[in-house]
Amino acid sequence: MKRRLVGTLACLLAAATAGCGGCGGGKPRLNGAGSTFVYPMMSKWAAEYDQAKGVEVNYQSIGSGGGIQQMTAKTADFGCTDGPMNEEQLQKAKETGGEVVHIPLVMGAVVPAYNLEGVTTPLTFSGPLLADIFLGKVKKWNDKAIQDLNPGVALPDKDIGVVHRSDGSGTTYVWVDYLAKVSPEWKQRVGVATSVNWPAGEGAKGNEGVAGRVKAAPGSIGYIELIYAVQNDIKFGHVKNRAGAAVKADLKSITAAADNALTAIPEDLRYSITDAAGDDSYPICGTVWAVVYVNQPPGKGQQVVDFLRWVTHDGQALCEPLHYAKLPPGLVERVEKKLASIQVK
């Protein structure tokens, strides 16, 4: 489901026809697309940026795969993705518009969200258990593997309904990147990508779709970004981390994961923070990147850089109320260098 923060299709068409940066009397406009993971945060950023700078940000929440495609095709000024572009995607972009840079924007958690009537205590999962559930090997809620992690909890003899993403998704990337690190079978059979061949379950589009399906279907389990569970009042489980601690996803545990994982950041800023070390680290965390061409078209390039600089500096103050974690200061310094590499005309 395409969702827009500001503007209408008619306005976009009018702006394109006029060859201007936007509508509403020439008001500048940026067009972005991609990650549903970041949509609640991007919505807030867009509203605040419009108020502060007088620039509209039109963002389509279509999934990370769609965001990469639109950025590559130059139908969006920037794409947002929770999984860094792979070599094939980077090569396609290079052939279309040249080199691409990854700009980290914010960090968040992906949680195992479930609908289990009568169970009020938050369940605990391990990575191998989640892999086995999504592989279709653990089929009942009262399976011994779940019961052993949740002693004293009365689990029903009920089928588990697995819900996964049907679209190309950075949230999927974060989820399967984690599962591949903790389950050799998952790594071999399914692997890591924004879109995979699921061994079990049914698909739904976007974080919104998975959240809606889990909330509507008793016995179901899916994976969604933390804010979608909070806003929709959906139960989500604690996950045992590498240190063996069962950790709840929250600002503290996301920040801990980021701090512990980002000890060696590659030059291109494509990295993973899943399965981070540390007693307090939530293990299924990810970053949302903006992906943009280094060589920007006349007029728009400076607008893109200005918005991304504002998001990674002033905009970070808006993250915590929406349950996202701010970028670590050391990473912000690296981001600034990447922004400086973007060629504006």
210 Cβ contact list (under 8 Å, min separation 6): 113, 163, 164, 165, 204, 222, 223, 224, 228
Q: Is 148 exposed, middle or buried (0-12, 13-18, 19+ CB in 10 A)?
A: exposed
Tens of pLDDT along the chain (345 residues) come to: 434 333 433 333 333 333 344 444 578 999 999 999 999 999 999 999 999 999 999 999 999 999 999 999 999 999 999 999 999 999 999 999 999 999 999 999 999 999 999 999 999 999 999 999 999 999 999 999 999 999 999 999 999 999 999 998 999 999 999 999 999 999 999 999 999 999 999 999 999 999 999 999 999 999 999 999 999 999 999 999 999 999 999 999 999 999 988 887 899 999 999 999 999 999 999 999 999 999 998 888 999 999 999 999 999 999 999 999 999 988 999 999 999 999 987
In a domain, 274, yes or no: no
My answer on whether 184 and 164 are in the same domain is yes
Residue 9, CB-side half-sphere exposure with 13 Å CA sphere: 2
Domain boundary among 261, 277, 305: 261
Q: What is the CATH number of the domain that holds 172?
A: 3.40.190.10
The count of domains in the chain is 2
My answer on whether 174 and 215 are in the same domain is yes
Query: b or e along 89-114 (b: 16 or more beta carbons within 10 Å of the residue's beta carbon)?
Result: bbebbeeebeebbbbbbbbbbbbbbb
84 Cβ contact list (under 8 Å, min separation 6): 102, 270, 271, 289
User: What pLDDT score does 13 carry?
Assistant: 30
Domain boundary among 226, 261, 296: 261
In a domain, 193, yes or no: yes
Domain boundary among 246, 261, 276: 261
CA terminus-to-terminus distance, the chain: 35
In a domain, 272, yes or no: no
My answer on whether 60 and 25 are in the same domain is yes
Question: How far, in Å, CA of 173 to CA of 117, rounded?
Answer: 29
In a domain, 173, yes or no: yes
My answer on whether 231 and 304 are in the same domain is no
User: What pLDDT score does 27 carry?
Assistant: 84
In a domain, 277, yes or no: no
In a domain, 2, yes or no: no
My answer on whether 191 and 302 are in the same domain is no
Closest CA to 322 of 55, 103, 9, 38: 38
User: What pLDDT score does 262 carry?
Assistant: 83
My answer on whether 51 and 142 are in the same domain is no
User: What pLDDT score does 168 carry?
Assistant: 86
My answer on whether 150 and 37 are in the same domain is no
Token match 């996964």: residue? 164
In a domain, 268, yes or no: no
My answer on whether 70 and 153 are in the same domain is no
In a domain, 3, yes or no: no
My answer on whether 129 and 82 are in the same domain is no
My answer on whether 15 and 88 are in the same domain is yes
My answer on whether 82 and 186 are in the same domain is no
Amino acid sitting at position 147: Q
Domain that holds residue 148: 109-261
My answer on whether 137 and 238 are in the same domain is yes
